[in-house]
Chains A and B, each alone.
Chain A
Amino acid sequence: MSARIQIPAEAKRGEIIEVRILIQHVMETGYRFDDRGTPIARNVITSILCNYNGREVMRADTSSGIAANPYLQFCMLAEASGELVLSWVDDEGVRGTERASLSVSG
């Protein structure tokens, strides 16, 4: 499993920047059956969180109905240089994280 974050490498203080996220995940809906008719257990990401210098800037509570390999995009205010930490957890309890650094001037 892997994920990506895209942010500009540098920004000016007070600038609004765009954050893009892509997480590789099957997002098994729980509504499907295998070839033998046995239900396939649901396994979706249930929570996606983004912290910026320790403060929560985005949270999404996701469920069935979100496509595989979810893509998210949001904006945030660049305040100080630091790190953006993305983390998520799925129905099986598997957790993942990915980081990106931002350098803020001015």
Chain B
Amino acid sequence: MKALLLLAAGMLVAAPAWTQNRVIPQAGLKSGFEFLSPDLKKMQLDDFANPGTLWVDRGEKLWRAEAGAAKKSCADCHGDARASMKGVAARYPQVDRHSGDLMTLEARILQSRVERQKAVPFARESEDLLALSAYVAYQSRGMAMEADIEGAARKHFDAGEAMFFRRRGQLNLNCAHCHDANWGRTLYAERISQGQPNAYPAYRLEWQTLGSLERRLRACLSGVRAEILPFGSPEYADLALYLSWRAKGLPIETPGVRR
């Protein structure tokens, strides 16, 4: 009996993290898509009219273009993206085996660009980086998000989770105040969604262009008048990992359309 109890206690401690408490149960997850107007839903679902697909097309061209001192294209090493990149975006952010750093999909593409192609890195949020990340993520469209938060990823997950619940900015709000506690309600003219990351890079009408998840997070930080971290900050990757876990099971929509 005692042994059994001990065993049970041991199991609790070792319980995989996905059993940890979710504020929004997995069955209640809603993509930002469900909060869009009928017009925008139609735009996202129509591959011709969805402006984000222009970046996907551009990404496809870049995928096959030779670059850098190595004179290699992405395709030279990775072959047909439809096969090699299928499902990749669904498991990002991911820890780099060699450096131990947590990498977003954008960071991983930049790594290949610099270390493998020996080319000058794309600027963050540049048209080319957005195009390639949209093209790579597009290969996972419809697939469920499933980032790994065990092992080396765990400390990044914990940091991301802490960030999500930390109040910040002049408005002194945390992410959960809006996206866990008040989704479905209206803030000014906007309906607050659950703050899910599954549509990115997404075409946002307010931006009139495609933008990364980081750009969206910066908009939320600016909304609560908090300090905006520079693009590529490790904090964004930690937060993105927490968001991916929180969205576990939601289908990737890249390129999504948002207001």
The interface of chain A, by Cβ under 8 A from chain B, is 2, 4, 6, 20, 22, 24, 26-27, 67-69, 71
CB atoms of B48 and A69 under 8 A apart:
no
Partner of A6, one of B48, B51, B54, B58: B48
State which size class the interface on B falls in.
under 10
CB atoms of B48 and A2 under 8 A apart:
no
> What are 27 A-B interface contacts by the 8 Å CB criterion?
A2-B54, A2-B57, A2-B58, A4-B48, A4-B54, A6-B48, A20-B48, A20-B49, A22-B48, A22-B49, A22-B51, A22-B54, A24-B51, A24-B54, A26-B208, A26-B209, A27-B208, A67-B205, A67-B208, A68-B51, A68-B208, A68-B209, A69-B51, A69-B54, A69-B208, A71-B49, A71-B51
Chain B 93-134 interface mask (CB, 8 Å, partner A; 1/0): 000000000000000000000000000000000000000000
Q: Determine the chain B residues whose CB is within 8 A of the CB of A27 once the complex forms.
A: 208
A-B contact count (CB 8 A): 27
16 extra A-B contacts, CB within 8 A, seeds A6-B48, A69-B54: A2-B57, A4-B48, A20-B48, A22-B48, A22-B51, A22-B54, A24-B51, A24-B54, A26-B209, A27-B208, A67-B205, A68-B51, A68-B208, A69-B51, A69-B208, A71-B49
Q: Determine the chain B residues whose CB is within 8 A of the CB of A22 once the complex forms.
A: 48-49, 51, 54
The interface of chain B, by Cβ under 8 A from chain A, is 48-49, 51, 54, 57-58, 205, 208-209
Cα distance A6–B49 in the bound complex, in angstroms: 10
Q: Determine the chain B residues whose CB is within 8 A of the CB of A4 once the complex forms.
A: 48, 54
CB distance from B51 to the nearest CB of A (A): 4
Q: Determine the chain A residues whose CB is within 8 A of the CB of B209 once the complex forms.
A: 26, 68
Q: Identify the closest chain B residue to A67 (Cβ).
A: B208
Q: Determine the chain A residues whose CB is within 8 A of the CB of B49 once the complex forms.
A: 20, 22, 71
| Shortest beta-carbon contacts, A-B, top 7 | A68-B208, A69-B51, A24-B54, A6-B48, A71-B49, A20-B48, A2-B54
Q: Determine the chain A residues whose CB is within 8 A of the CB of B51 once the complex forms.
A: 22, 24, 68-69, 71
Cα distance A67–B205 in the bound complex, in angstroms: 8
Q: Identify the closest chain A residue to B57 (Cβ).
A: A2
Cα distance A27–B57 in the bound complex, in angstroms: 20
Q: Determine the chain A residues whose CB is within 8 A of the CB of B48 once the complex forms.
A: 4, 6, 20, 22
Q: Determine the chain A residues whose CB is within 8 A of the CB of B205 once the complex forms.
A: 67
Cα distance A69–B54 in the bound complex, in angstroms: 9
Q: Identify the closest chain B residue to A1 (Cβ).
A: B54
Cα distance A24–B51 in the bound complex, in angstroms: 8
Q: Identify the closest chain B residue to A70 (Cβ).
A: B51
- Of listed A4, A22, A69, residue having the most chain B CB within 10 A: A69
Q: Determine the chain B residues whose CB is within 8 A of the CB of A68 once the complex forms.
A: 51, 208-209
CB distance from B187 to the nearest CB of A (A): 23
CB distance from A94 to the nearest CB of B (A): 16
Cα distance A71–B49 in the bound complex, in angstroms: 7
CB distance from A62 to the nearest CB of B (A): 15
CB distance from B59 to the nearest CB of A (A): 12
Q: Identify the closest chain A residue to B55 (Cβ).
A: A24
Q: Determine the chain B residues whose CB is within 8 A of the CB of A69 once the complex forms.
A: 51, 54, 208
CB distance from A75 to the nearest CB of B (A): 16
CB distance from A63 to the nearest CB of B (A): 16
